[in-house]
Copies of this chain bind each other. A is one copy, B any other.
């Protein structure tokens, strides 16, 4: 394993501790991939790191710095580009199973041991698969705008969604249409989130490619091939899981969060008001506080204990 800081990590811009000024790092994994990542929050406390899995076509700069800084106030938080995505080398796979294998290789390369996973959108698919394939490394799981493999009605995004964020060049307006609602407060929150994501002007991550978009969308559609039997996979997840969704998410409807929370034995569910796919950016303070409460709860499974 080797860790390389690829930009000037000693510049003053990277010393205020905010996500928007963190250095981009690279770590080489056993699979030969150099993974781009950013690493923030307290490392000395011996706590469990939180590893974040990004959304469709997203890179390190598509995490709202306000959310990451909120999460990192109490724990180590690591964002990364999976294999073939943005600043990482390799090829983006077209299956969630391989994305999970690639993520497991990154976590191993970072020598993180057991981690908490926060998967967002397609990242939630990969995080579920990591928890299924390698449960020993997943202490707790956060699934944001998520859906289980095989759920009916999930075979690709809705036409207006893929039409907005699936095109070669996506405009800020198209991004806002999917990630925020039509209400003035949500739209305003969206503008502010975009501003925070673009605060960083130097050392921005590499843009994701069309090949990544194609491979990821193949994986999304394959994950969404309806198969009721596959829903039962989640019954073996033994770790506590927090399931969260925007109430008006056009990309992954709250319906699928209900389904996840009903299929996973130890699930907590929260639906955030007046919000869409970007609910976790719009409600970044509440969401970070909810995640912190969930991850630090000594007995998140009290509900489970009451079930036979």
Interface string of A223-261 (1 = CB under 8 A from B): 000001101100100000000000000100111111111
Q: Are B267 and A308 in contact (CB under 8 A)?
A: no
> Is A303 part of the binding interface, using a Cβ–Cβ cutoff of 8 Å?
yes
> Is A158 part of the binding interface, using a Cβ–Cβ cutoff of 8 Å?
yes
Q: Are B153 and A308 in contact (CB under 8 A)?
A: yes
> Is A285 part of the binding interface, using a Cβ–Cβ cutoff of 8 Å?
no
Chain B residue contacts of A156, Cβ below 8 A = 308
CA distance A267 to B256 in the complex (A): 11
CA distance A158 to B307 in the complex (A): 7
- Of the four ranges (under 10, 10 to 19, 20 to 34, 35 or more), the interface on chain A belongs to 20 to 34
CA distance A235 to B150 in the complex (A): 13
Query: Oligomeric state, in number of copies?
Result: 2
Chain B residue contacts of A256, Cβ below 8 A = 262
Contact for A260 among B254, B262, B303, B306, CB less than 8 A? B262
> Is A289 part of the binding interface, using a Cβ–Cβ cutoff of 8 Å?
no
CA distance A250 to B257 in the complex (A): 22
Chain B residue contacts of A269, Cβ below 8 A = 258
> Is A211 part of the binding interface, using a Cβ–Cβ cutoff of 8 Å?
no
Q: Which B residue's beta carbon lies closest to that of A257?
A: B262
> Is A263 part of the binding interface, using a Cβ–Cβ cutoff of 8 Å?
yes
> Is A112 part of the binding interface, using a Cβ–Cβ cutoff of 8 Å?
no
Q: Are B152 and A235 in contact (CB under 8 A)?
A: yes
Q: Are A261 and B255 in contact (CB under 8 A)?
A: yes
> Is A155 part of the binding interface, using a Cβ–Cβ cutoff of 8 Å?
yes
Q: Which B residue's beta carbon lies closest to that of A148?
A: B262
Q: Are A255 and B158 in contact (CB under 8 A)?
A: no
CA distance A253 to B256 in the complex (A): 19
Contact for A231 among B228, B253, B261, CB less than 8 A? B228
Q: Are A307 and B253 in contact (CB under 8 A)?
A: yes
Q: Which B residue's beta carbon lies closest to that of A247?
A: B303
Interface centre among A229, A258, A265, A306 (most CB of B within 10 A): A258
CA distance A151 to B257 in the complex (A): 17
Chain B residue contacts of A306, Cβ below 8 A = 158, 250, 253
Q: Are A303 and B253 in contact (CB under 8 A)?
A: yes
CA distance A264 to B244 in the complex (A): 19
Question: In the complex, given contacts A256-B262, A259-B263, what are 12 additional A-B residue pairs having Cβ atoms less than 8 angstroms apart?
Answer: A152-B265, A153-B265, A153-B307, A153-B308, A158-B306, A228-B229, A228-B232, A255-B307, A258-B259, A258-B261, A258-B267, A259-B261
